[in-house]
Structure 1
Amino acid sequence: MAVLRRLTPAVLKAVFLAVIVFFIVRNIPLKLSDITSFLLKANVEFYASLALFALFLMLQAGIWVMIVNAVGKEGRRSGEGSGLLRLLPGLQIFINSQFAKYIPGGFWNYAGRIVLASRAGVPLNVQFSAIIYENVLLVSAALIYALMLAVTLGTPLQLVLLGVVVGGALIYFYYPRVAAWTGRMFERASKWKLLQRAIARFSGPFGDNRLSEAKAVLTRNQFFGYLACFLGSHFIMGIAFWMLTSSFSGERIGLFYAAGTFATSWLLGLFSPLPGGLGVREGFLVYFLSLKLGADVALHISVIARLWNIMAEVAFWAVIQSLTYLKRKVKVYEA
């Protein structure tokens, strides 16, 4: 019985890893021979775009770490929270859980992040609040780039600017009320028995099963500050995708058109019932790119973009694993 208990975690990890690898492979619409042939023929610009996209993913993960630390500030003041989530462990938590997004269901990456962050001592109320803020800010940033795409497609600039200014002003002035209302809803939801049972399963081994003990709300200035951070990281993403399109077609579409296309396709991909926005995202990439580059080139780019995305995530993971290993070796040497 004792042997079984020791082996169970390892077996479960192996099964979970196998499931992730299976669905990642299913998400790549290419044969292994096609992938190998493509990677051997790809030019320098493709690999540069890949490195830049991996940087974008690191920035996105870094912003999540900052949000976690910001929303946990009030909990630390009241003596209920833990210390800061350090950058390197935070990046490792983010990318180690990121691959689970390819499993059908659309929540496995967040579930994995909750388990890993709980193990690192991050309170649950902080985690849930950070996930909500992260997604609201990501969608808001993508929506702004979608509006940029709308301008390049002929929508009057004055109309778009008016909508952004009015929407931004409403959010700015009514932010305290919305945050307070969200906090009350968050507190009510934390009392649901079904949610409490789920929390107990995820966080029971780590001793934290509370959602409403500490405040976990960003201030107005923090909210708009992190929105600016996401807008900046999305611009790097746009440059990476712009370089990717250029590496295939030889023709350069506009930088803001490329950034808007990728952000809009990701935003619309949220409505896909399949993991990672599969199908919907590629369809809109083909549609928007075909307006500038032709249908054949657009289809080729949309297929490779999925492989490009996964390769960037693997590169991110490899960098973080290497840094973690080197840091561990330095500690052993100093000891």
Structure 2
Amino acid sequence: MDQPDPARRARRRDRWADLAATPRGEGALKRWLLLGGQLVLTVAVTWLIVDRVDLGLGELRGLDRSMWLPSPLLFIAASLLLLVAYFVSAAIWGRIVRDLGGPGLPVADSIRMFMIANLGRYLPGKVWQIAGLAALAKGRGVPPATAAGAAVIGQGIAVVAAAAVGMGALLGGPDPYPTWGLVGLALVVLAALLLAVPTVFQRIVGLWFRLTRTAARPEVGGMHALRWLALYTVNWAMYALSFWVLARSLGFGGAPIPVASAFAAAYVLGYAMVFAPAGLGPREGFLIIFLTPHLGAAPAGVLAIVARVWTTLVEVVPAGIFWLGHMARPSAAADTPEERAP
């Protein structure tokens, strides 16, 4: 005879309690709680940011459909420029690997590994991209500490470069943005000067290799840091230009420098929100804030949403193709699971 419902519910509660009491159950519970907390925090921060410009979903729904449809030629041009910018980022990483004492990687290999590892950016936290890049590069003879170090140090310098490009959004905005822009510009200049000091940069690089317990101590100095900063600044100018072309493809005007540089500024602030995968949510909120004085709240919201879909597709689709090609290689079957980590 079937057990009564109260008894069945009691047994079910006991099973869940036993599961939660095991180490595996505790770990799973913690992961779900962490993901839930990240989701709540992401939504709350995004809402607080967007609320500053009084932009609601109803206003976006009421827009003419044509505002969401880009001009095909300009959209293709923006997408190609963005893809080239992604590839340039990969080539810079390969250059940093060589400067840190690693082997000289072919540009094609750097692009393939970098794009595949970028899939990890869409997971919570900032470590998956770097871990995947180190694992993939190991199969090409790059020490994991060198590959990860090139990614970590390079990303830090890239954020400084993005901040430099993003200053145009503050300096070209309404009060009090220019004041904050001057403060930000001073901080960027200070960061560049510190990187240029040989002993400072050598200690930064040396600290990384000590933390990873690696015997290698590459001979790099301030000139390397300035070279990488210059390369990343050009790289971020390409990202900003591709975003401006995207805005033009949607028929939006606005001064080129504030509109283009808003993309870089929003990236830096979104990157600081470590709880949001790939800055999802907060980055769009900051982008709307920077664009609203130049385009209006509704067009800024449209551009922010389209830009998120656009950047994701231009990054994920080629990365997926590279990943499939990597798995189809005869040597892929012999790789360890760690070497195949995305």
What TM-score comes out, normalization by structure 1 length? 0.69
* Alignment correspondent of 2:239: 237
Q: Deviations over 1:229-266 (max 9, x none)?
A: 11111111111100111222x23222221232001111
* Alignment correspondent of 2:201: 179
Asked if 1:284 corresponds to 2:313, the answer is no
- Compute the displacement of 1:215 (Å): 1.4
The one-letter code sitting in structure 2 at the alignment partner of 1:137 is: I
Looking at structure 2, the residues matched to 259 and 217 of structure 1 have their Cα atoms a distance apart, in angstroms, of: 37
- Compute the displacement of 1:315 (Å): 5.0
Looking at structure 2, the residues matched to 260 and 90 of structure 1 have their Cα atoms a distance apart, in angstroms, of: 27
* Alignment correspondent of 2:215: 213
Is contact 1:57–1:316 with CA below 8 Å preserved after alignment? no
Which residue of 69, 91, 97 corresponds with 1:62? 91
User: What does 1:145-294 align with in structure 2 at a 5 Å threshold?
Assistant: 145-153=165-173, 155=178, 165=189, 167-172=191-196, 175-190=197-212, 211-216=213-218, 218-248=220-250, 250-272=251-273, 273-294=275-296
Identity of aligned residues (%): 25
Looking at structure 1, the residues matched to 95 and 228 of structure 2 have their Cα atoms a distance apart, in angstroms, of: 9
Looking at structure 2, the residues matched to 160 and 188 of structure 1 have their Cα atoms a distance apart, in angstroms, of: 31
Query: Structure 1 pair 127/278, CA: closer, same or farther in 2 (3 Å)?
Result: same
User: What does 1:42-121 align with in structure 2 at a 5 Å threshold?
Assistant: 42-44=70-72, 45-72=74-101, 83-121=103-141
The one-letter code sitting in structure 1 at the alignment partner of 2:260 is: A
Aligned-residue RMSD, C-alpha: 3.3
Which segments of 5 or more consecutive residues in structure 1 lack a partner in the other structure?
Answer: 1-26, 28-36, 74-82, 191-210, 329-335
Looking at structure 2, the residues matched to 72 and 187 of structure 1 have their Cα atoms a distance apart, in angstroms, of: 12
Q: Secondary structure at the match of 1:181?
A: helix
Looking at structure 1, the residues matched to 311 and 71 of structure 2 have their Cα atoms a distance apart, in angstroms, of: 17
The one-letter code sitting in structure 2 at the alignment partner of 1:106 is: K
* Alignment correspondent of 2:150: 130
- Compute the displacement of 1:292 (Å): 1.0
Q: Deviations over 1:115-164 (max 9, x none)?
A: 11112110123123212221121111011122222221262798777665
Q: Deviations over 1:69-90 (max 9, x none)?
A: 11116xxxxxxxxx32221111
Is contact 1:99–1:109 with CA below 8 Å preserved after alignment? yes
How many residues were matched structurally? 261
Is contact 2:255–2:294 with CA below 8 Å preserved after alignment? no
Looking at structure 1, the residues matched to 92 and 317 of structure 2 have their Cα atoms a distance apart, in angstroms, of: 19
Q: Deviations over 1:185-215 (max 9, x none)?
A: 335423xxxxxxxxxxxxxxxxxxxx42211
Is contact 1:71–1:130 with CA below 8 Å preserved after alignment? yes
